[in-house]
Amino acid sequence: MKQIRDVIVIGSGMIGSAIALAVSRAGTKRVTLIDKGPLVSGMTRRSPGLAHPFQAHPLLCELANSSFEFYNRWAMQLGGKNPFVTTGAAAVDFPNAEASAQFALWKEHVQNASGIAPNALQTLYPDISKQFRAAMFTPHAGYADAVLTAQAFVNAAKERGLDVQTGTQVKQIAVQGRQILGVKTTTGDIEAPDVIVAAGGWSERLLAALGVVLPLRLQRAVIAFYEQPPSVTNDLPMLIDASGAHFVRPHPYRMSAAGWISTDANFQNVDALDEYVLPNEYARVQNFLTACLPEFANTRPKRAHTVLYETCADGLPALGRVGNFDGLYIAAGFGASAFAVAPAVGESVMQMLVDGDATRDISSFHPQRVTLNPNPSATERGA
């Protein structure tokens, strides 16, 4: 039997689950969330769950500022036990780097952040090195288990009527002329006038069938987990290098998580993630960890995993309507920022669906800046 809904969200990762929650809570739409695998089975399962405002673009900073307030009010927003751990975050600039432009951006766009001398940072956190050229600190940062967070979003949305269909692959987005009609899946057809593609690195192929070319680049990252040395007895903040390529954060059970994102964006297939962590990748993570926290110099990772982060060709996400179609939206390409901005992204998409436009200006991420015009013949598919 054909199902009829108001909104279909494709992808149950951080972005898709946040959109499903926000739209379900609006109370005016019948929402279905679809994932080809189990719930939260994509790259969100590998995310380190970082929520901090030291992002690469002013709009990402704004979305992260807003999302931290959501996470910080977990009990009010989602109920149950709060897994979000507030740590604060310091963005650090090493002597051989140059981050003055990035620090100027953060000074203007990051709430409750201020420059701090390396000596003063070490006074607050004695285990941190003072061998930085500059640092900026905000108390408004933290982390959580990304899988548990996305699942909490979905569970809260189900209380508002969200329909979840896992193990369901979208074969085709159905369209007639300019109007979106719904989706054709491996378990049947679902009619809906609005479809949001929030499938991370898989979004590109879903849109390609419509003739919409969304060039995504995939960057490989490594996340390693270390046991804290006995000599580290103090609380630690999240530490991020100014380029955004490295991080260190606390982890439960006296562990620390550290990671590195490659600048190489030549990976073509999101399904072909190589699980093997190369020695030079371990070295990059270890070097940053030791530079920030010298007591970790002799530690070795207990475990590690890899992840692929997707962004658009310009390094930024695509968020908004696809202008060539009525009822087609994209929320993809958030890469390593997805956890930090997800609640605010969900709110913005909800406003577009319910009110006609987002309250904040999200035009910087408009999909038309990176998508190519669809092939008119492709728009008849699914009619």
Domain made up of 3-46+147-212+314-380: CATH architecture: 3-Layer(bba) Sandwich (3.50)
The whole-number average pLDDT for the span 134-154 is 96
The whole-number average pLDDT for the span 370-379 is 54
Interatomic CA distance for residues 108 and 105, integer angstroms: 5
Say what the alpha-carbon torsion angle 156, 153, 36, 162 is, to the nearest 10 degrees: 30
Radius of gyration of the chain (CA): 21
pLDDT in the model for residue 230: 92
User: Is 121 in contact with 90 (CB distance < 8 Å)?
Assistant: yes
14 or 371, which is more confident: 14
The whole-number average pLDDT for the span 4-20 is 97
The whole-number average pLDDT for the span 32-60 is 96
Indicate the length of the chain as a whole number: 383
Domain regions of the chain by residue span? 3-46+147-212+314-380, 86-139+217-312
Q: Name the band, by pLDDT with cuts 50, 70 and 90, for residue 95.
A: confident
pLDDT in the model for residue 152: 96
The pTM is what?
Answer: 0.94
Residue 197 pairs in a beta bridge with 10, 330
pLDDT in the model for residue 381: 39
Alpha carbon 229 to its chain's center: 30
CB neighbour list of residue 27: distance below 8 Å, 6 or more residues apart: 160
pLDDT in the model for residue 378: 43
| Segment 309-336, tens digit of pLDDT | 999 989 999 999 998 899 999 999 999 9
| Segment 51-74, tens digit of pLDDT | 999 999 999 999 999 999 999 999
pLDDT in the model for residue 79: 87
* Number of neighbouring beta carbons within 10 Å of residue 169: 15
Does residue 112 register a pLDDT over 60?
Answer: yes
Is 86-139+217-312 the same fold as 3-46+147-212+314-380?
no
Does residue 380 register a pLDDT over 50?
Answer: no
Q: Name the band, by pLDDT with cuts 50, 70 and 90, for residue 243.
A: confident
Q: Name the band, by pLDDT with cuts 50, 70 and 90, for residue 97.
A: low
Q: Name the band, by pLDDT with cuts 50, 70 and 90, for residue 269.
A: confident
| Segment 185-240, tens digit of pLDDT | 999 999 999 999 999 999 999 999 899 989 899 999 999 999 999 999 778 999 99
Does residue 290 register a pLDDT over 50?
Answer: yes
| Least confident span in 190-204, 288-302, 369-383 | 369-383
Rounded to 10 deg, the angle between the 14-26 and 338-355 helix axes is: 30
Does residue 383 register a pLDDT over 60?
Answer: no
Ramachandran category for residue 315: left, alpha or beta (phi over 0 → left; psi -120 to 50 → alpha):
left
Q: Name the band, by pLDDT with cuts 50, 70 and 90, for residue 377.
A: very low
Planar angle of CA 87, 91, 97, nearest 5 degrees: 155
Does residue 376 register a pLDDT over 60?
Answer: no
pLDDT in the model for residue 271: 86
Interatomic CA distance for residues 51 and 60, integer angstroms: 11
Between the alpha carbon of residue 7 and those of residues 38, 62, 158, 247, 342, the distances in Å are 20, 26, 14, 36, 18
The 10 Å CB-count burial string (b at 16+, else e) for 187-221 is: eebbebebbbbbbbbbbbebbeebbbebebbbbbb
pLDDT in the model for residue 382: 38
Does residue 111 register a pLDDT over 80?
Answer: yes
- For the segment(s) 86-139+217-312, the CATH number from 3.10.110.10, 3.40.50.2300, 3.10.580.10, 3.30.9.10 is 3.30.9.10
Q: Name residue, tokens 């941190």.
A: 128
154 or 372, which is more confident: 154
* Number of neighbouring beta carbons within 10 Å of residue 260: 22
pLDDT in the model for residue 158: 96
pLDDT in the model for residue 328: 97
Task: Annotate the chain with three-state secondary structure.
Answer: CCEECCEEEECCCHHHHHHHHHHHHHCCCCEEEECCCCCCCCHHHHCCCEECCCCCCHHHHHHHHHHHHHHHCHHHHCCCCCCCEECCEEEEECCCCCCHHHHHHHHHHCCCCEECCHHHHHHHCCCCCCCCCEEEEECCCEECCHHHHHHHHHHHHHCCCCEEECCCCEEEEEEECCEEEEEEECCEEEECCEEEECCHHHHHHHHHCCCCECCEEEEEEEEEEEECCCCCCCCCCEEEECCCCEEEEEECCCEEEEEEECCCCCECCCCCCCCCCCHHHHHHHHHHHHHHCHHHCCCCCCEEEEEEEEEECCCCCEEEECCCCECEEEEECCHHHHHHHHHHHHHHHHHHHHHCCCCCCCHHHCHHHCCECCCHHHHHCCC
Average pLDDT along the chain: 92
158 burial class (0-12, 13-18, 19+ CB within 10 angstroms)? Answer: middle
Planar angle of CA 19, 23, 28, nearest 5 degrees: 165
Interatomic CA distance for residues 171 and 160, integer angstroms: 27
Does residue 168 register a pLDDT over 80?
Answer: yes
| Least confident span in 60-64, 121-125, 189-193, 284-288 | 121-125
